[in-house]
Copies of this chain bind each other. A is one copy, B any other.
Amino acid sequence: MVEAEDIPSEESTRSKILRTALELFHQGSFNGTSVNQIVVKAGITKGALFHYFKGKNELGYAIVDELLRESVQENWVFPLATSDDPIGYITELLRAFEKEMQETPEMVECGCPLNNLSQEMSSMDSSFRLRLRDVYQEWEDCLDASLRRGIEAGKVRKGIDPAAVAKVLISVFQGSIGMMKVHQTREFSMGLKEGLIQILDQLKP
């Protein structure tokens, strides 16, 4: 609390490694990125990387446990923690995403880092899979809870199964980002957004 953590004039070597590796994994892929690339881009040496992480896989695990989990919490868990209007929040997110798409096309070009890593690694390495699953579970749980509150508050249709809908929503978000990465056209993204809103509207009372 005393330290000026919010102005890290000198980022720690460990977090620099994590951040750089995530960036490269995001642009490329886990298997397609070498530890040499990481240390060069991070401006450090291999000794530093293997001092903090036992191996490339362990570095990947730390990225999931720390950075990716944090990202899900920031975008979903915290905003929905007490909300009883998940549909409203998601609709807002879609609109915000539309503007973010133009300014920083990172997401539409490279997809979602969580989804990318999941698709590439979860069938190869069960340590990856279980850690990634935990992150998704947090996401699903908070969506589920928010949907339940929404039903009670009369902001979500009564007939739906919150647990099942939460699973579908996460699937459709991850799938959508994946499809946008393949199509890379504003036309497709807008059409998809239109369809998502139509689906979301069906969840309203």
Instruction: Give the total of A residues in contact with B, Cβ under 8 Å.
Output: 50
- 0/1 string, A149-186, CB within 8 A of B gives 1: 00000000000110111111011111110110111100
Q: How far, in angstroms, from A163 to B181 measured CA to CA in the complex?
A: 18
Mark out the residues of chain A between 26 and 62 whose CB falls within 8 Å of any chain B CB in the assembled complex. 27-29, 31-32
Shortest Cβ distance from A59 into chain B, in angstroms? 16
Shortest Cβ distance from A161 into chain B, in angstroms? 6
Knowing A119-B120, A196-B168 touch, does A136 contact B179 (C-beta < 8 A)? yes
Stretch of A70-78, A96-104, A107-115 with 4 or more beta carbons under 8 angstroms from chain B:
A107-115
- Tell me if A188 is interfacial: C-beta within 8 Å of chain B: yes
Q: Which of B29, B120, B124, B171 contacts A176 (CB 8 A)?
A: B171
Q: What residues of chain B lie closer than 8 Å to A12, measured between beta carbons?
A: none
Q: How far, in angstroms, from A118 to B91 measured CA to CA in the complex?
A: 27
Q: Is B178 a contact partner of A124 (Cβ separation < 8 A)?
A: no
Q: How far, in angstroms, from A160 to B173 measured CA to CA in the complex?
A: 20
In the assembled complex, 26 residue pairs joining A and B whose CB atoms fall closer than 8 Å, in A order, are A27-B123, A28-B124, A29-B120, A31-B31, A115-B119, A115-B178, A119-B178, A120-B120, A132-B182, A133-B183, A133-B184, A160-B198, A161-B191, A164-B194, A164-B195, A165-B195, A166-B195, A167-B188, A167-B192, A168-B176, A170-B175, A172-B175, A173-B175, A174-B178, A174-B179, A175-B178
CB within 8 Å of B: which residues of A?
A: 27-29, 31-32, 109-111, 115-116, 118-120, 122-124, 129, 132-133, 136, 160-161, 163-168, 170-176, 178-179, 181-184, 188, 191-192, 194-196, 198-199, 202
Extra contacts, 4 of them, besides A32-B120, A160-B198, A170-B175 (Cβ < 8 A), are A27-B123, A29-B124, A109-B123, A174-B175
